Amino acid sequence: MMNGNRPNILVLGGGFGGLEAAFYLRMKLEDRADITLVSDRDYFLFKPNTIYIPFGLDPEKLKVGLERPTRRKKIAFVNDRVRQVDTDTKKVSTEGRELSYDFLVVATGADMRPEEVPGLKEHAETIWTLREMLKLRLALYDLLETARGGHNRRVLFLVAPNNKCAGPLYELVFMLDTWLRRKKVRSNVDLTWSTYEESYIQAFGPRLHGVVTSEFERRVVAGHTGYVAEQVEDGQVRYESGEVLPYDLLVAFSPYVAEVIYPTLPGDDRNFIRTDLATRQVVGHPDVYAVGDAGDFPVKQAFLAFLQADAAAEHLSARVLGTELEIAFEPTSMRVMEQFDKATFAQVPLRLTGVPEKPIEVDPAAIDAYKVGSYAAWRLGKKALGYYLPFRFALGNPFHAGVPWKGMEVGLKAMSRLMAK
């Protein structure tokens, strides 16, 4: 153990990475450390399911209050916004106080910067916050009423350059197609897709590209890859290639940037914190870890945030307890993409390429673990995750650990053997 001392561990961020790290640390260390969680919100938001808000879901159903689970696990909770980190004195400043740490886990997430594409902020319905999803709900209601009146409308979906996880927008175009068909107005709405990626969901390899291609054909969605948005104007988008696509409704996913900038920590060109891949330790700062969207791993996704948080918490716990390290971060994405009439499951082992233009790819050494499948039954898997994860966090338990997760994992593996290849 660490000289018999009781270390003070500070976790910044109340999202997937922050809560998973805090609850995993408490599970591993029990009462051998003081743990403090800092978040600018007093609730956890189950963000993957915000895709249902434009179609009527109450956003309050996606929230889990943080007071009760942190108190249950004897984790001090500070509801405040982080301002800066002083690595020399090992202190974190928030808007209202100063906090000391022996170990620090940074999980303050990502934000959107639509301003990088001129006109995007002014003309597009963007997807990131609850407010934006509620605005999109109103836009879809207007679309529905106009189409019911017999008028034709054009909806354009746009993935902007430097977006780090386009999956939710792919879900929305599929969901909108199904929704419009069920409302019997699909024939009055043209759907068009444009992305800067060279292939659909580029980071996740050719199998998902094939799934999206066939879905676009089945649903009569005009798809365009390699379309780098240059300028958004009222009613049309101009691309670097010279192409112009018209729209009546533009739904876009913006460029990613770090939500909090830490000048004392090394960052990339978008202020994501540079880390050691396996341990999530910040480069040059062994007592600081960065997990989830705050770190420099090029794909931002909830399941990857869990894996990173677990690896960081495992590494930190081993240091405190003087035990052998049990796990390290091995990037494998796992997600279920909603389409309303069915869902697509994807398990994708990833590796870094070292090439800035295409920093991530499917790991050829783990190709047997690369699985994709589309069936109506996968919607049950999506719903199960939507109930299970908030339930675990509400109890102050990590998602990706313990006996319940092993049971969930067995179920997912059984489904993937039958319904993915």
pLDDT at residue number 201: 95
Q: Are residues 35 and 148 in the same domain?
A: no
On whether both 233 and 272 belong to a single domain, the answer is: no
Phi (first) and psi of residue 230, to 5 degrees? -110, -35
Provide, rounded to the nearest whole percent, the portion of the chain with pLDDT above 90: 91
**Is 335 a domain residue?**
yes
Q: Total structural domains in the chain? A: 2
CA dihedral 410, 415, 416, 420 (to 10 degrees): 180
75, 80, 82, 84 alpha-carbon torsion, rounded to 10°: -100
**Rounded (5°) CA angle 23-28-30:** 85
Q: What is the tens place of the pLDDT at every residue in 90-132?
A: 999 999 999 999 999 999 999 999 999 999 999 999 999 999 9
pLDDT at position 4 is: 56
Tell me the range of 36-45, 354-363, 412-421 where mean pLDDT is highest.
Answer: 36-45
* pLDDT band of 86, cuts 50, 70, 90: very high
Percent of the chain with pLDDT over 70: 97
Residue 2 lies in a domain: no
Looking at the fold, whether 222 and 128 belong to one and the same domain comes out as: yes
Whether residue 5 is predicted with pLDDT greater than 90 in this model: the reply is: no
- Last residue of one domain, picked from the residues 222, 256, 290: 256
Do 362 and 267 lie in one domain? The reply is yes
The residue from 256, 288, 319 where one domain ends is 256
Report yes or no on 14 lying in a domain.
Answer: yes
Mean pLDDT of 4-33: 95
Mean of the pLDDT values across residues 38-45?
A: 98
Q: What is the pLDDT of residues 49-77, one digit of tens each?
A: 999 999 999 999 999 999 999 999 999 99
Give the pLDDT confidence score for residue 326 in this predicted structure: 84
Q: Are 4 and 322 in contact (CB under 8 A)?
A: no
C-alpha span between 131 and 142 (Å, rounded): 17
pLDDT tens per residue across span 281-337: 999 999 999 999 999 999 999 999 999 999 999 999 999 999 998 889 999 999 999
Is 138 found in the same domain as 276? Answer: no
pTM: 0.95
- Domain annotation covers residue 49: yes
User: Which residue among 256, 287, 309 closes a domain?
Assistant: 256
Q: Residue 1: what pLDDT?
A: 47
pLDDT of residue 405: 72
Whether 1 maps to a domain, the answer reads: no
Same domain? 177 vs 217 = yes
> How confident is the model over 297-308, as pLDDT tens digits?
999 999 999 999
Residues 267 and 248 in one domain: no
82 plus 163 within the same structural domain: no
Q: pLDDT band for position 144 (50/70/90)?
A: very high
Residue 48 lies inside a defined structural domain of this protein: yes
Tell me, what DSSP letter sits at residue 128? S
- What is the side-by-side strand order in the sheet with 229-233? 229-233, 236-239, 244-246
3-state secondary structure of 389: helix
3 in a domain, yes or no? no
On the question of pLDDT at 43 being above 60, the answer is yes
Quick check: 420 pLDDT over 90? no
Q: How confident is the model at residue 356 (pLDDT cuts 50, 70, 90)?
A: confident
Residues 226 and 265 occupy one common structural domain: no
Pairing label, strands 76-79, 34-39: parallel
pLDDT, tens digit, 9 for 90 and up, residues 169-186: 999 999 999 999 999 999
CA contacts within 13 A on the Cβ side of 63? 12
Nearest to 278 by CA among 346, 325, 324, 319: 325
Left, alpha or beta for 94 (phi > 0: left; psi -120 to 50: alpha)?
Answer: beta
> Which CATH number characterizes residue 91's domain?
3.50.50.60
Verify that 309 and 347 share a domain, yes or no.
yes
**Confidence category of residue 408, pLDDT binned at 50, 70, 90:** low
Q: What is the Cα–Cα distance from 330 to 312, expressed in whole angstroms?
A: 12
Query: 349 pLDDT band (50/70/90 cuts)?
Result: very high
- How far is 130 from 241, CA to CA, in rounded Å? 33
Which one-letter amino acid corresponds to residue 270?
A: R
Residues in the chain: 421
Can you give the residue range of the structural domain that contains 155? 114-256
The residue-averaged pLDDT of 229-248 equals 98
Question: Does residue 348 sit in the same domain as residue 373?
Answer: yes
Kindly state whether residues 223 and 242 are assigned to the same domain: yes
Residue 182 lies in a domain: yes
| CA 362, 368, 374, 379 torsion-angle sign | negative
Task: Evaluate if residue 79 carries a pLDDT over 90.
Answer: yes
- Check pLDDT > 70 for residue 12: yes
